[in-house]
Structure formats: structure tokens, C-alpha cells
Amino acid sequence: MKLTILGGGGFRVPLVYRALLADRGEGRVTRVVLHDVDAARLAAIDRVLAEQAAGVPGAPAVTVTADLDEALRGADFVFSAIRVGGLAGRAADERVALAEGVLGQETVGAGGIAYGLRTVPVAVHVARRVAAVAPDAWVINFTNPAGLVTEAMSRVLGDRVIGICDSPVGLARRVARVLGVDPADAWPDYVGLNHLGWLRGLRVGGRDVLPGLLADPELLGSFEEGRLFGADWLRSLGAVPNEYLHYYYFGRETVQAYREAAGADGTRGAYLLRQQAGFYEDAARPGVKALDAWLRTLAEREATYMAANRAASGDTGGRAEEDLEPGGYEQVALALMRAVARGERTTLVLNVRNGSALPGLDADAVVEVPCVVDANGARPVAVDPLPYHAVGLVTAVKAVEREVLEAAATGSREAAVKAFALHPLVDSVTVARRLLEAYRREHPGLAYLA
């Protein structure tokens, strides 16, 4: 089994490789090809992987290449985890948005739109190359904004592209943990778009255990989303939202927190730009154990995840030990690959075309819902409709995504302005126009918008 990783020089690649090393099952991945446009990053990650594989019998062989077609040829699975414009681009997305007083997070609000506008054309190119040279491969998309990018690729690859995110899994796992339930026995009624969904129930043995959590303020205060949103608001909603909904429900506070972060340690993008540059430099140094440098950097990255949001909600205690446990990101990918490759049926929350699963959205809209996965791929399970307020957010953001896809397909500046202007977290058409101009000045990758 050959796995190609696009963005092979990316920081999270060793997580995936670590999971592969632990997989002893039949039909497991035996060859890994890393593709990246940055040779230095590729070399650093290659070193980490070599140190991880040392002494592990039957470790998947790793090769690296800068040639996309060569990387794709013969692939059974393609993981796409690219970052167009790099972390410098992410930092710029945040800076430009903040200068207009709006949110510039990489997947939410103006930042997500800017990131989407420069990523979609590249993702579509990748999809076309997959269709041409590896038409039988399954594409697993990690690239953010994951829902939008998956939808762009699905226009070329249909249901052979599946988007993944570890946030819904992490949320369901945390809720199961505080309720003393084995996550493997629990069915999450989780519905929405990527980074815009709600856990509305958690069924165990045919019974919904979520109401028990919502009724218990102490339990609600004992896990991340509970502290982020506060017990009262979760009770009002009757659901536990994805952590990224913090940017919607606490819009002013999160913009303010980003502002404060910008003046201190830097926004998330600016911080990671610095932190990651340090890692890649270290990992290239002779005599340095690249794996140790990676583990250190990973621990720091996890510990500071969403720090600004936690500060905004008054949660100053740092992240709980259990929340730092690895296993989200790479385990979803591995579980998905196993189910497809071995035909072992399972259910996972994934980003797929809606079909008729979620009422109110069209069939081609990529949604994030529980899916049945087997050798035929992932099929969304029909879910109950969302309440009106959630329908409003989901359809508004899907409309934004559609304008981004239109802009990327046609080069229409008008569509790009519309994308910014229609977003619930951008409150003025004038601001939308200025945002597009500022982003165009910042990113050469947006020059295609005429």
C-alpha cells in the first residue's frame, strides 16, 4: 500500500508516520512518499521519520520528491496537507484582518476567506493531477479550510476525496470522558460544516447521555469546550459547539484577544511562524536529534493551542493533561484509511458531499457529519435538521464558500468581495472591499483575481 503525503515537509507528518509505525495489520501502508515544494523542510521531516523508524521492524519505507506527478503515480492514498503561502501567509491573514477590526483566523472569518482564495486554485490543480495520474487513489484532505478545500476538490474527484478534521472527534472524546463513557461505544450526533458544527447528542446504548452533562455545571467546567463557552451558554444552546464557534458566539472578545496577542507574543500565525522556523533550523543542524526537537516543539504547540480564546473566556489554568494527548489528527486519518483499504466498516465524522443527509443544503455541499465508511468510501448518515439559528450560520457560511469557489474558478474579484461581505463576522461591504485589496497587496497568490 502506497501513501503519498502532499505537504510532506509539514510539521504534522511525523504524527501520521508514528501512527503508521504502530499499525501491524494486514493491508497496512508499506511505502510513504513525501512531496513538498520546500526541499529544506522535506529534508528535516525526512530526518525525523528516519529517527522514528530506527529499530522498528517493517517500518514503511520513506522516499521524498519535489515532482508532483511522480509522487502521485501508483498511490493508493493521497494525504493532502499543504499550506499555500506558508505560516507567513497565515500571519499576514491575521494582521490584515485585525487592522480592519475583524477576525483573521486561518479557517474562520476574513482570514479563512483569504486563505481559501489562495488555496483553492492549488487544491484544484492537485485534484486534476490525481485524476490524471492516480485516478484510483483516495484523497484524504487535511488542508484548511478543510470543508471548503474538500468541496473544491470534490468538483474534480467526486466522492474520492474525503475531508478530515480532528476537532469533532476530540470534542466527542472529551464529552465521553467526562461522562465516564468509552468513546468507542458512543455515537456522536455531530452536524454542521467544518469548524462550524454542534454536538447535539451522544448516544450510548440507545440513550442520549448529553442532557446529563448539560444539567451538571461541575462536569461542564471540567473540559475544554465547557470552560470556553461557559455552562450557562451550553445549557441555552442545548448542545456543545465545536471550539471554533467561540469566534462566532464571542466575536468581540476573540477579536480583542487576538489584538492583545498581537501586541504580546504575536497572533497564532505569527507565533507559529517563529516557533516553526526555530524547529526547522534545529532539525537541520548536524548532531541535533531531529525527533527530540520535533517532540519539544509539538508539546509547545499543543499547549498553546487556542490560548487567546482561553484567555478571552477567563480560562487561565492551561490545558488539561488529557487534552494534550496525541491521537486525534492522525488516528482519524488512519481509521479512515483502514476502513477503506480493508473494507472494515466503521463510522467517523468526516467532510463529504451532503447528498440528502442534512436538510437545507444541496447535494454537492460538503458537510461535516457522521459517515459510514467501508471499501466504497464514506457515505453520510441522514441527520435531524439543525435549529434555525444554526441553519442560519451554516447556510450563510456555505454561501461564502460558494463565492470563494466562484472567485477561484473564474478569477472574479466581484465574487471575492461578495465572499468577504457575506460573512457573518465581516460587518460591512466597505470593509470587505478594503480587505480584498489589502490581501491582494499582501499575497502574490491572489494576483489571479482580476
| Interface positions with ligand G6P (CB under 6 A) | 144, 165-167, 268, 272, 301, 305
User: What one-character DSSP code corresponds to residue 318?
Assistant: -
Residue 267: name its binding partner from Mn ion, ligand G6P, none (Cβ under 5 to 8 Å by kind). none
Q: Are strands 2-6 and 77-80 parallel, antiparallel or unpaired?
A: parallel
DSSP three-state, residue 383: coil
Q: Look up cell 509522487; give the residue.
A: 71
Residue 305: name its binding partner from ligand G6P, Mn ion, none (Cβ under 5 to 8 Å by kind). ligand G6P
Residue 301: name its binding partner from ligand G6P, Mn ion, none (Cβ under 5 to 8 Å by kind). ligand G6P
Return the amino acid letter for 249.
Answer: Y
Shortest spacing between CB 266 and Mn ion, in angstroms: 21
Shortest spacing between CB 248 and ligand G6P, in angstroms: 16
Q: Do residues 371 and 352 make contact, with C-beta atoms less than 8 angstroms apart?
A: yes
Shortest spacing between CB 40 and ligand G6P, in angstroms: 20
What CA–CA distance (Å, rounded) separates 201 from 301? 30
What CA–CA distance (Å, rounded) separates 380 from 369? 6
Shortest spacing between CB 203 and ligand G6P, in angstroms: 23
Shortest spacing between CB 16 and Mn ion, in angstroms: 15
Rg (Cα) of the chain, in Å, rounded? 21
Q: Do residues 220 and 166 make contact, with C-beta atoms less than 8 angstroms apart?
A: no
Q: Are strands 138-141 and 240-241 parallel, antiparallel or unpaired?
A: unpaired
Neighbouring C-alpha atoms within 13 Å toward the C-beta of 386 = 27
Q: How many residues are present in the chain?
A: 450
H or E segment and range at residue 398: helix 388-410
Among residues 127 and 164, whose Cβ is nearest to ligand G6P?
A: 164
For residue 171, state whether it binds Mn ion (rule: CB under 5 A). no
Write the binding mask 107 to 146 for Mn ion: x where contact by CB under 5 A, - elsewhere: ----------------------------------------
Residue 268: name its binding partner from Mn ion, ligand G6P, none (Cβ under 5 to 8 Å by kind). ligand G6P
Among residues 197 and 445, whose Cβ is nearest to ligand G6P?
A: 197
Shortest spacing between CB 142 and ligand G6P, in angstroms: 8
Among residues 303 and 375, whose Cβ is nearest to ligand G6P?
A: 303
Shortest spacing between CB 306 and ligand G6P, in angstroms: 7
Shortest spacing between CB 363 and ligand G6P, in angstroms: 25
For residue 245, state whether it binds Mn ion (rule: CB under 5 A). no
Residue of minimal Cβ distance to ligand G6P:
167
Among residues 91 and 210, whose Cβ is nearest to ligand G6P?
A: 91
Among residues 52 and 167, whose Cβ is nearest to Mn ion?
A: 167
Q: What is the DSSP string of 289-309?
A: -HHHHHHHHHHHHHHTTTHHH
Which residues, 6 or more positions from 420, have their beta carbon under 8 angstroms from its beta carbon?
Answer: 110, 113, 426, 431, 432, 433, 435, 436
Among residues 272 and 449, whose Cβ is nearest to ligand G6P?
A: 272
Among 64, 165, 371, 390, indicate the residue that binds Mn ion (CB under 5 A): 165
Q: Are strands 196-204 and 186-193 parallel, antiparallel or unpaired?
A: antiparallel
Q: Do residues 411 and 448 make contact, with C-beta atoms less than 8 angstroms apart?
A: yes
| Among the residue ranges 8-16, 88-96, 165-173, 281-289, the one whose residues contact Mn ion (CB under 5 A) | 165-173
H or E segment and range at residue 196: strand 196-204
Which parts of this chain interact with Mn ion (CB under 5 A)?
165, 167
